Chains A and B, each alone.
Chain A
Amino acid sequence: MSARKRVKSSQTPRTSQHSNSYQTNLLAWKLKEDLSNSRSTSKHGQNSPVEDSEQADADEQAEDALQIAVRYFEKGPFKTSRSKDKTLEKHLKTVESVAWKNGLAPEEIDILLNVALSGKFGSAVNSRLLRCMIPATLISEDSVVKAVSWLCVGKCCGSTKVLFYRWLVAMFDFIDHKEKINLLYGFFFASLQDDALCPYVCHFLYLLTKKENVKPFRVRKLLDLQAKMGRQPYLHALLSLYKFFDPTLISVSLPVKKIYFKNSENLWKTALVAVRQRNQEPSPEPLKLMLGPATVRPRKRKWNSHSLIPVLNSSSHSKEYGKKGMRLSDYLSRNRAFSGEQLKSFPQLLQNIHCLELPSQMGAVLNNSLLLHYINCVRDESLLLRLYHWLSQTLQEECIWYQVNNYECEKEFTNFLDTIIKAECFLQEGFDSCEAFLYKSLPLWDGFCCRSQFLQLVSWFPFSSFSEVKPFIFDRLAQLFFTSTIYFKCSVLENLKELLQNWLLWLSMDIHLKTVTDSSLYRNNLTAAKKNELILKKKSEFIFSSKTYQEYNHYLTAMVGCLWTSKPFQKGSYFDPEVFKMIGVAKYKTSLNLVHHPALLSYAISFLLKEYPEERTVNVSSIRGKKWNEYLDYLFSEGLQGLKLFIRSSIRHSSVP
């Protein structure tokens, strides 16, 4: 034990060039000596660093010593007792030191694990072996299965069994596969009957259980156990997990505090940290049932819910209902469904996007960036409507300036708004519910509560025409603007600038779907942004490169070519005119201009019928020259204001007589 402690304190992890990457450590040198001199050697070893070549020798010798030790254990105890203890101790120490320093290889674990559980040696030895059973990289599933088979034989004592289960829990993530172990589920489940083992087996089952393992008879067994042992936190945890997988079988209230299992990891904690570092894994997160926050709410929430944003819970009753006769497709899809809680990384989302189980309360996506990705690309109307209703109702209920006595909850509401804004930034788009909320709440806002968050919500206002938004948002903001401090004024300007940037970004993404109306808006907004930049004298993060202007000009030229000059598809455009010849449209040049364009053809005909009723035939090609100008006036009078703006601003033409 003491030797091990010294190992830990002097560890300086430094990657070496050796393929087996032993950590630079003095004890490698130490093991070279005979273990009877172990104490003096260790003192020696701490003083000076070791050369690589010497260390290589030391490593090899350590490796040899380990092999010898493992062979020794494998063979089993000798009958003679005199030297047995000393050799045993020597080999044990070897194993322990190597294990704590570098971990044991899977083969070594295989052998030693079996030794420990087969009861060949005494329980003290077994205990020490298990305590140092630290993997270098991983643990083979077969070793565990073999070890479990020893449990059936009953050769090891109760404390060893307990230690074994604690070891399984601590090392769970390092076991390479778990399918075979899962097949032994029934055996583990039966071990719950043992009172001493129960807490640890519960913890292990908590990690091992999959949806297929949850069966009605097991539920009943657990309930009987609960009746026998009372409200135990570990049983509660396992029952909650069962409920999570199949809420139709069991109902249980969620634990208020974090799930409490006896900490099995602490025996191996530091070593595990080192193993993870070696394998360069991030610390794993065990499957956590979503629980309420530990902090106590300052006020009693409506209906004792733990938090404003609903907890992510994919398993819902509504999916299970009516499944009287399951069809094969249901069965297959049910088994393959990937629940939202399991989603941990973006690649996982991509792999499972077709069978993703969505939360039963859509509000939960606000806290989960992966699910936000999902609802952003899968534009399912039902999902969005659910989110819309929840968000608008929650904003309405929680808004602190709607009711006088809500002011104490400012912090909570501020945090909620922060979450919403984060989600909007992530999606680069505002929520419809927030838009509705702004319309309703801005007239009542005092300009003071949650100011920064509220103004940020304004900057995510969805794209609209200025004239629509002006009376409801800008006028009201103007009222506050003129009667407030310089700090408020600056905040408002800052957020309006961001609003403009968001609109421009949004437009630039949608550029291929532009209509004429919209392009003029784009132009207005671009010029306004330019002016804005000058006014604010600030270096904007959104720099309009000349490329943007070039692109804009290109589109402008293309549109004018189509609509006006009947010279569409000049060089550099996306379409090859040959395509038209192939599909049999000969006169493609005029086919997209103001007269012949499919969207405007009806206007052309109405114009001719109205202004020139005496003509026998309606020939739209006759609209040229003087008629063209009249036709333009007609179009403007029909309400195509955007077209008017576009033509007036982008095209300079002399009136043709």
Chain B
Amino acid sequence: MDSYAIPESTPRRSASSRLKDHFIGATPLQKRLESVRKLTSFVPPSPQRKIPQCSQLQEDVDPQKVAFLLHKQWTLYSLTPLYKFSYTNLKEYSKFLSAFIVAEKQKGLAVEVGEDLNIKVIFSTLLGMKGTQRDPDAFLVQILSKSQLPSENREGKVLWTGWFCCIFGDSLLETVSEDFTCLPLFLANGAETNTALIGTWFQKTFDCHFSPLAINAFNLSWMAAMWTACKMDHYVATTEFLWSVPCSPQSLDISYAIHPEDAKALWDSVHKAPGEVTQEEVDLFMDCLCSHFHRHFKIHLSATRLVRVSTSVASAHTNGKIKILCHKYLIGVLAYLTELAIFQIE
């Protein structure tokens, strides 16, 4: 069913079994941690991935419903598993979180839980945003301002949005018991103060931990290759790369834009095995781009740092900000991001 295969290995190898597990008293946790624990290896292996295609599950997703997820800049965080989170209590979570936010914003003034406040927090499930059936349901949190005037009935405007999801998170799901809900990818849009409040509440309530998810140049180049490889009916944006050169007094940014069809053509020439993307292909793709640049401008881009990649599918910045432009490959993009998030947790 899922045409998107889980990548075979991440750049770490599993630890050899430890003596402790042979003892009669080895706890299930130790056995589980064994699968989680990975050692740094000195030789990076070559991962292979499938090109993101439409997953069958996504047919269930109503494009209208997910339209609000597109064309928005999301800040990424990785999230450790939530303890004793329940999808049946979403209404209560809304109540408590609203009271919490209002109480924190007006320092020192207590707020009764459940009373009418000037903001409202809504929890809702996002159906269909998952890779396999095993993945937990994604859910969305929104802060809305509520108008106090009785004459206006409609909901106020959305002040902040955040959503939690897990796409193909099998490697993490295997390591936790039923008390935990694994939603390792968190995306937030809105004021940083609100993100802080929501995050603090979740951390206190479900004993989880948010970490900003940074994307390094290695992963950015993978994204560039994978997204360029995606078949598109029409292109909505140029393919653009941004490199940063640290120099004084101000860093130098080099922006390199290519026509998306040219990029696709380049990729097709590099790409060999159908349905798979290998490290060599990615490296070759980037080398071609860099050498082309060098031919014209005599600048070695490999000596600089890739900080941003932008294609018609999505764009990503190294500081963990992304924007998804195409709903057809939404799951594919999220799957890769989930993988990065899980990598950061483990």
Contacts and interface: CB of A to CB of B under 8 A. Distances in A.
Interface of A: 219-220, 222-223, 226, 231, 236, 239, 243, 247-253, 255-256, 303-305, 310, 313, 316-318, 321-322, 360-362, 379, 381-382, 384-386, 388-390, 393-394, 396-397, 432, 435-436, 439-440, 443, 462-465, 468, 472, 510, 513, 515, 517-518, 521
Given A249-B113, A397-B211, A513-B24, A385 B29 contact: yes
Contacts of B177: 381-382, 385
B180 interface: yes
A518 to B, nearest CB: 7
A252 B209 CA distance: 22
Highest count of chain B CB atoms <10 Å: which of A252, A313, A435? A252
Contact of B207 (A219, A361, A384): A361
B162 interface: no
14 contacts: A226-B109, A236-B110, A239-B110, A248-B113, A249-B113, A251-B100, A252-B111, A318-B84, A361-B207, A443-B40, A464-B20, A472-B39, A517-B22, A518-B22
B40 A472 contact: yes
A628 B148 CA distance: 91
B19 interface: yes
Contacts of A321: 86, 89, 92-93
A310 B202 CA distance: 13
Contacts of B30: 432
A231 B84 CA distance: 35
Contacts of A219: 112
B110 A393 contact: no
Contact of B80 (A253, A304, A389, A521): A389
B104 interface: yes
A222 B110 CA distance: 9
Given A318-B83, A439-B40, 20 more contacts: A250-B113, A251-B99, A251-B100, A251-B113, A310-B204, A317-B96, A321-B92, A361-B207, A385-B29, A385-B177, A389-B80, A432-B30, A439-B39, A443-B40, A462-B18, A462-B20, A465-B19, A468-B16, A472-B39, A518-B23
A577 to B, nearest CB: 24
Contacts of A379: 27, 29
Interface in B60-111: 80-81, 83-86, 88-89, 92-93, 96, 99-100, 102-104, 107-111
B19 A220 contact: no
A236 B96 CA distance: 19
A440 B40 contact: yes
Contact of A393 (B39, B80, B85, B89): B80
Nearest to A515: B22
Contacts of B209: 389-390, 393-394
Nearest to B107: A253
Contact of A521 (B19, B84, B206): B19
Interface in B100-147: 100, 102-104, 107-113
A390 B80 contact: yes
Contacts of A518: 19, 22-23
A436 B24 CA distance: 23
A394 B199 CA distance: 15
B47 interface: no
A517 B18 CA distance: 12
**Most A Cβ at <10 Å: residue of B93, B205, B207:** B207
Contacts of B265: none
Contact of A248 (B24, B32, B80, B96): B96
Contact of A251 (B19, B37, B92, B103): B103
Contact of B37 (A226, A250, A435): A435
Which 9 interchain pairs have the tightest Cβ spacing?
A: A251-B99, A252-B110, A303-B196, A389-B80, A251-B103, A239-B110, A393-B209, A321-B89, A231-B108
Contact of A390 (B110, B179, B205, B207): B207
Contacts of A510: 23, 25
A393 B345 contact: yes
B176 A226 contact: no
Given A251-B113, A304-B196, A396 B211 contact: yes
A243 B27 contact: no
A510 B99 CA distance: 51
A358 to B, nearest CB: 10
Contacts of B33: 388, 432
B203 A322 contact: no
B200 A360 contact: no
Interface of B: 15-16, 18-20, 22-25, 27-30, 32-33, 37, 39-40, 80-81, 83-86, 88-89, 92-93, 96, 99-100, 102-104, 107-113, 176-177, 179-180, 195-196, 199-200, 203-209, 211, 344-345
Given A322-B88, A382-B179, A243 B110 contact: yes
B29 to A, nearest CB: 5
A597 to B, nearest CB: 16
Contacts of B32: 381, 385
Contacts of A388: 29, 33
B200 A305 contact: yes
Contacts of B23: 510, 513, 515, 518
Given A381-B27, A382-B177, A384-B29, A226 B96 contact: no
A139 B206 CA distance: 44
B20 A463 contact: yes
Nearest to B176: A385
B207 A362 contact: yes
A381 B29 contact: yes
Contacts of A247: 96, 113
A219 B99 CA distance: 14
Contact of B205 (A317, A385, A521): A317
Contacts of A517: 19, 22
A249 B112 contact: yes
Nearest to A379: B27
A359 to B, nearest CB: 8
Contacts of A465: 18-19
A362 to B, nearest CB: 6
A644 B211 CA distance: 48
Contacts of B199: 303
Given A389-B345, A393-B345, A439-B39, A255 B108 contact: yes
Given A304-B196, A397-B211, A223 B205 contact: no
Nearest to B19: A465
Nearest to B192: A303
A394 B92 CA distance: 29
Nearest to B206: A318
B80 to A, nearest CB: 4
Given A382-B177, A390-B209, A250 B29 contact: no
A252 B109 contact: yes
Scoring B23, B86, B108 by chain A CB atoms within 10 A of each residue's CB, the highest score goes to B108
A385 B104 CA distance: 30
Looking at B29, B85, B104, the one whose CB has the most chain A CB atoms below 10 A away is B29
A316 B205 contact: yes
Nearest to B201: A317
A411 B117 CA distance: 42
A396 to B, nearest CB: 7
Contacts of B205: 316-318, 360
A245 to B, nearest CB: 13
A248 B111 CA distance: 11
A399 to B, nearest CB: 12
B84 to A, nearest CB: 5
Nearest to A304: B196
A515 B99 CA distance: 57
A409 to B, nearest CB: 16
Contacts of B29: 379, 381, 384-385, 388
A360 B202 CA distance: 11
A439 B16 CA distance: 13
B203 A361 contact: yes
A465 B15 CA distance: 12
Nearest to A472: B39
Contacts of B344: 396
Contacts of A304: 196, 200
